[in-house]
Amino acid sequence: MDDDTQVLTIAVEAETKSFREEMQQLRANVDGTFSGFGSAGAKLEKSLLSAIRQGNLAFDDLKQVALSTLEFIAAEALKIQFGGPVSGTGSGGLGTLVQSALTSLIGAPGRATGGPVSPQHPYLVGERGPEVFVPTSAGRVETASAPTRNVKVAVQLSAPRGTDAPTALQRSSRQLASSLRRALIET
């Protein structure tokens, strides 16, 4: 009985050590992959603080940064909700904003609509959300589906007298989201 327990103890210790080593390797890989996100945030913070210290950042600049960030968040939410790109084939608009925001934050260009890739250079791809792809050789990313069309949606909001626009928009948010979803699914 004592020998069996000792054999089992040794086996458990060996498997635990192997598991620990695999977890350390996995942690190192994940930390290496996402270290760029932290440095991008630090770079953004540093540039904003520098601009504020030098007095170069006006309220209009802050407004533009805030609006760009909100558009980026909205585009990502739509992409997650509907499982596809927000805009068409790079003709401008929100999709271009998303691509430029991701490129500036992460430093990796996107290839959601296809394009050439270089070895050892990170690219943002992914049919189920953003993924970092680092090819080992030069090549090309191809899209799996037909090119998307631009979708134009017009929103008219009627507010009762005495109601301000943000309150009316908040009351209609579910209808607006439902209409946008239908418009994007139909295309």
Q: Where are the domains of the chain?
A: 2-147, 151-187
Answer left, alpha or beta for residue 129, where phi above 0 means left and psi between -120 and 50 means alpha: left
Place of tokens 């996995």: 26
Look at residue 186 in the predicted model and tell me its pLDDT. Answer: 67
Q: Average pLDDT for residues 145-156, to the nearest whole number? A: 67
Two structure tokens written together for 97: 């904003």
Q: Which residue has the higher pLDDT, 117 or 86?
A: 117
Q: How far is Cα 74 from Cα 98, in angstroms, rounded to an integer?
A: 10
CA atoms within 13 A on the CB side of 168: 11
CA 183 from centre of chain:
23
Look at residue 117 in the predicted model and tell me its pLDDT. Answer: 81
Average pLDDT, the chain: 66
Which of 63-67, 88-92, 98-102, 151-155 has the lowest average pLDDT? 88-92
Q: How far is Cα 123 from Cα 109, in angstroms, rounded to an integer?
A: 5
Q: How far is Cα 79 from Cα 141, in angstroms, rounded to an integer?
A: 20
pLDDT tier, 34 (very low <50, low <70, confident <90, very high otherwise): low
> What's this model's pTM, rounded to 2 decimal places?
0.23
Cβ atoms of residues 122 and 133 within 8 Å: yes
3-class SS of residue 133: strand
Write the single-letter amino acid at 187. T
Look at residue 90 in the predicted model and tell me its pLDDT. Answer: 42
Look at residue 116 in the predicted model and tell me its pLDDT. Answer: 82
Alpha-carbon Rg of the chain, whole angstroms?
24
pLDDT tier, 143 (very low <50, low <70, confident <90, very high otherwise): confident
Look at residue 163 in the predicted model and tell me its pLDDT. Answer: 79
Q: How far is Cα 97 from Cα 18, in angstroms, rounded to an integer?
A: 45
pLDDT tier, 13 (very low <50, low <70, confident <90, very high otherwise): confident
Two structure tokens written together for 134: 């680092």
